[in-house]
Chains A and B, each alone.
Chain A
Amino acid sequence: MQTTRKPWKLLLSSAMILALLAGCGSGNSNEGASDSGAAGTEAAANKEGFPIVNEPVTLTMMAPDVGIQNWENMAVLQEMQKLTGITMEFQNAPKDSFETKKNLVFASGDYPDIFYAAGLTTAEQMNYGEQGILLPLEDLIDEYAPNFKALLEENPDVRKSITAPDGHIYSLPVVELSQHWYRNPMWYNGDFLKALNIEKLPETTEELYTYLKRVKEEDPNGNGIADEIPISSVTTTAANLRDIRTWLLGAFGVYEEEIYVDDNDVVHYTPLEEGFKEYLTYMNRLWSEELLDHESFSQTAEQKKAKAQENRVALFSDWHAYMTKGGEPSTEDPMFAPVRSESVAAPAIAKNRGITTGAFAISESNPNPEASIRWVDYLYSYEGATFFNKGPEGILWEYTDEANRVKQYLPVPDGKEMEDYRATLTPNYGIPAPTLSMDDINKGLKTDFDLWVEQETQQKLLDKGARIPFPALFLTVEEQTEISSLNSDLSTYVKQMEAKFITGAEPLSGWDNYVATVKKMGGERVAEINQAAYDRWKAN
């Protein structure tokens, strides 16, 4: 007892003095950080070529981590250090708690020099940008980021989407212009199509209904039991139907589940749209005839997969069909081609925005912003993007025709899964890292299945008029605050009512009451705010 008591009594009393000092306010610590930022600016960076700096520079980098490999030991980052002369000190936090840690870092005033894959929200970019914690990057881009500058010139929309309302660019985005899916696609179970002799996939909601009905009644899996489930969906934390909603909404002319802009630049709030009502009516019909899995509002993704693997599900959503159905990648399970209802001429199809903002930012304490921006600019070049995506040449892949950028895969060392091995080479695994993904990176590496998926995407989505439902844009701080406070009640109410309408717990005759309530809760205001932001974006 006594032996343990003495030491910590001492510790605590000295702790108390410090605590009293701490109480004086956190404002002071910020100033300290900005001092160090101003002090070391003289370490200039070379404008082009490698190394980036002549004298070694050390910078701190904060990033989310998936816990497979320490970043110091990643081949890509080690080579990057040799190439650039910049040593990174990593401050990683596990991916699932990164948000918490990020906020504490901003609160404590000890900023890292660089935020990497930090997923800074637009609100954060504006708040911290305005206060000078994040540096404006547009001048640095002009001078030190030739690759990214070229990207902006080719894609003016990208510049519009990353520029804050005050005219500054505070963060660089993830650019994935070759990733077109807005949500995971839906896939038909090819076995069922064959068993029912379906030559032509459904094109209208009625045809889809007829097909699903046949699945239910004609035992396409041939086991003699009516255990088929026409459509199955899953529940994640307080989000239902998210995997299938967008695809079915499209049939009624609605591009997105919350906010979208029509061809006349008018912004719509989906829960108030007539198309949403038609969607609910249709879904209610599927539900009451048991064409929509009655466990859709309670089952987990694993449970859905288990059903599909017993060959019971006809139509479902996933990245690729085989991931739900089990087995090897197969071209026998076709992609769902969006259907249309009688009230529209063609289905609305949503396409991915292709950019995610907030992937890279530089803080005020960074002693060498020029070198930092040159470092990240490399990731927007073909070489750098390939390097960060696939690791250095000679480990997982090699060139067969370097001039044309054609590559082939090498056998994976230690007989591991390729993705697992890749995760030990490069940080760009499962996090929104700043980079540009382009087709050339995978030239020669694509399998027949990959090519087939691309073709399905082209024919069924892109050629049918898929477009971005609502551009990535900035709201002002006031708009952001208002929207978040409106949304916290609205989205709960809408989701709840959607489920009730679909399952029949609330008859569709209650639609008018529902609309009145949504309006009372500020649904129209949500559309208004977004309309204003969209108009600003458009005018830029």
Chain B
Amino acid sequence: MVTAMKESRGDKLFLISTYVYLCLALVVVLYPLIYILSASISSPQDVNSGAMWLFPKNVTLDGYKLVFENPKIWNGYLNTIIYTVLGTLLNLAVTLPASYALSRSDFVGRNLFMGIILFTMFFSGGLVPTYLLVKNLGLINSMGALILPVAASVWNIVVARTFFQTTIPKELQEAAHIDGCTNLKLFIRIILPLSAPIVAVMALFYGVGHWNSYFPSLIYLNDEAKYPLQMVLRQILVLQEMSAETTGAAINGEVAVAMNNKAETASLIKYGVIVVSTLPIVAVYPFLQRYFVQGVMIGSVKG
């Protein structure tokens, strides 16, 4: 928030220290990020010996070549995008109405519902019964297994509810009701448009969750053509990480030689994979930032 008002010296000092603080945060966070980028294109020997500490050394693109030579990678990207988009839409459709309902103090039984939902945050049946359920629903090896069992998260419902509770003025609801507006209309026509920031946050939280998720695909998918990006990358990494096991020995010689070859590129790939899987989702963030600007909504309410 910047106003055209003339600022006092104290304000200036405060603003300057804010900028200094942010610059400091920027540097501290940026260094390891640059390190990852550099490590993904430097020779593994230089990375492991500490010779590469900021800028790339003995540049090699082998790591990226290995990742992108894998024929499954593009299919993995496509699958991940599909799962993320559809999964997030489902998440929003379940989460937003429920958290709005729970935010209403005149909603009879909301504490009961809240209790029902909160209980699941602590107690769960565990992997095996969940797997059996998904199997009995006939969802094995389908997209349903990836998005239905995670259709909502307690944490996000609570966060969204808090947002509705604190930012939607009660008077608004009362006014709407007196105008004869139904709850459905109120929610769709008024509440949602006013709540762009929380919709953006929820989309981001759920979307990132889908983007990064691999465990459901690991246990529910059998068909490699349906693997999301994270699974494909994991498959690439499995081989590389097997080299770590060789400290245990008692494998056969040819495998040891193979593992050794893989170990050479292991660190390259490790960092490259991070870049490959993260860049798209990091790139989305700046577009969402415009929803996080102070006052984007309230102005329209008061008017």
Q: How far is the CA of A70 from the CA of B246 in the complex (A)?
A: 25
User: CB < 8 Å: which of A5, A94, A101 contacts B235?
Assistant: A94
Q: Which residues of B contact A419 (CB under 8 A)?
A: 254-255, 257-258, 261
User: CB < 8 Å: which of A66, A326, A356, A423 contacts B238?
Assistant: A66
Given A1-B93, A22-B136, A26-B132: A96 and B241 within 8 A (CB)?
yes
Q: Is A8 an interface residue (CB 8 A)?
A: yes
Q: Is B45 an interface residue (CB 8 A)?
A: yes
Q: How far is the CA of A300 from the CA of B242 in the complex (A)?
A: 14
User: CB < 8 Å: which of B50, B138, B239, B249 contacts A66?
Assistant: B239
What string of 1s and 0s marks CB contacts (under 8 Å) between A294-335 and chain B?
A: 000000111101110110000001111001001000000000
Q: Is A97 an interface residue (CB 8 A)?
A: yes
User: CB < 8 Å: which of A67, A104, A301, A450 contacts B244?
Assistant: A301
Tell me which of A8, A417, A437 has the highest count of chain B C-beta atoms within 10 A of its own C-beta.
A8
Q: Is A422 an interface residue (CB 8 A)?
A: yes
User: CB < 8 Å: which of A5, A94, A234, A236 contacts B93?
Assistant: A5
Q: Is A429 an interface residue (CB 8 A)?
A: yes
- In residues 119-175 of chain B, which contact A (Cβ within 8 Å)? 127-128, 131-133, 135-138, 144, 148
Q: Which residues of B contact A103 (CB under 8 A)?
A: 128
Given A67-B239, A107-B131, A301-B244: A420 and B258 within 8 A (CB)?
yes
Tell me which of B128, B249, B254, B267 has the highest count of chain A C-beta atoms within 10 A of its own C-beta.
B249
Given A5-B93, A107-B128, A179-B250: A94 and B48 within 8 A (CB)?
no
Q: Is A238 an interface residue (CB 8 A)?
A: no
Q: Is the interface of B mostly helix, strand, loop or mixed?
A: helix
- In residues 421-474 of chain A, which contact B (Cβ within 8 Å)? 422-423, 429-430, 437, 450
Asked if A306 and B45 make an inter-chain contact with CB atoms under 8 angstroms apart, the answer reads: yes
Q: Interface-forming stretch among B24-32, B218-226, B287-295?
A: B218-226
Q: Is B110 an interface residue (CB 8 A)?
A: no
Least distance between B241 CB and chain A CB atoms (Å) = 7
What string of 1s and 0s marks CB contacts (under 8 Å) between B244-284 and chain A?
A: 10111111111111111101001100000000000000000
Asked if A1 and B188 make an inter-chain contact with CB atoms under 8 angstroms apart, the answer reads: yes
Q: Is B67 an interface residue (CB 8 A)?
A: no
Least distance between B50 CB and chain A CB atoms (Å) = 8
Asked if B238 and A67 make an inter-chain contact with CB atoms under 8 angstroms apart, the answer reads: yes
Q: Which residue of B lies closest to A352 (CB)?
A: B250
Q: How far is the CA of A417 from the CA of B260 in the complex (A)?
A: 12
- In residues 72-115 of chain A, which contact B (Cβ within 8 Å)? 91, 93-97, 100-101, 103-104, 107-108, 110
Q: Is A182 an interface residue (CB 8 A)?
A: yes
Q: How far is the CA of A364 from the CA of B19 in the complex (A)?
A: 69
Q: Is B207 an interface residue (CB 8 A)?
A: no
Least distance between B242 CB and chain A CB atoms (Å) = 6
Q: Which residues of A contact B256 (CB under 8 A)?
A: 319-320, 323
Q: Which residues of A contact B250 (CB under 8 A)?
A: 179, 181-183, 352, 356
Least distance between B222 CB and chain A CB atoms (Å) = 6
Q: Interface-forming stretch among A13-21, A31-39, A371-379?
A: A13-21
Q: Is B63 an interface residue (CB 8 A)?
A: no
Q: Is A498 an interface residue (CB 8 A)?
A: no
User: CB < 8 Å: which of B138, B239, B246 contacts A68?
Assistant: B239
Asked if A430 and B239 make an inter-chain contact with CB atoms under 8 angstroms apart, the answer reads: yes
Asked if B136 and A18 make an inter-chain contact with CB atoms under 8 angstroms apart, the answer reads: yes
Q: Is A485 an interface residue (CB 8 A)?
A: no
Q: Which residues of B contact A243 (CB under 8 A)?
A: 247
Q: Which residues of B contact A310 (CB under 8 A)?
A: 49
Q: Is B42 an interface residue (CB 8 A)?
A: no
Least distance between B23 CB and chain A CB atoms (Å) = 33
Least distance between B141 CB and chain A CB atoms (Å) = 11
Closest 10 CB pairs of A and B: A67-B235, A419-B258, A22-B136, A306-B48, A306-B49, A319-B256, A302-B48, A184-B249, A323-B260, A183-B249
Residue numbers of A with Cβ under 8 A of B are 1, 4-5, 8, 11-12, 15, 18-19, 21-22, 26, 66-68, 70, 91, 93-97, 100-101, 103-104, 107-108, 110, 176, 179, 181-184, 234, 236, 239, 242-243, 300-303, 305-307, 309-310, 317-320, 323, 326, 352, 356, 417, 419-420, 422-423, 429-430, 437, 450
Residue numbers of B with Cβ under 8 A of A are 44-45, 48-50, 89-90, 93, 127-128, 131-133, 135-138, 144, 148, 188, 192, 218-219, 222, 224, 231, 234-236, 238-239, 241-244, 246-261, 263, 266-267
* Listed A/B pairs (24) with beta-carbon separation below 8 Å: A4-B93, A5-B93, A19-B137, A26-B132, A66-B239, A68-B239, A95-B238, A96-B241, A97-B218, A108-B131, A108-B132, A176-B252, A179-B252, A182-B250, A184-B249, A305-B263, A320-B257, A323-B257, A326-B45, A419-B255, A420-B261, A422-B254, A430-B258, A437-B252
Question: Given A179-B253, A184-B247, 19 more contacts at CB 8 Å?
Answer: A19-B133, A66-B235, A66-B239, A91-B222, A95-B238, A96-B241, A97-B218, A100-B127, A104-B131, A110-B135, A179-B252, A301-B244, A323-B256, A419-B254, A419-B255, A419-B258, A429-B258, A430-B251, A430-B258
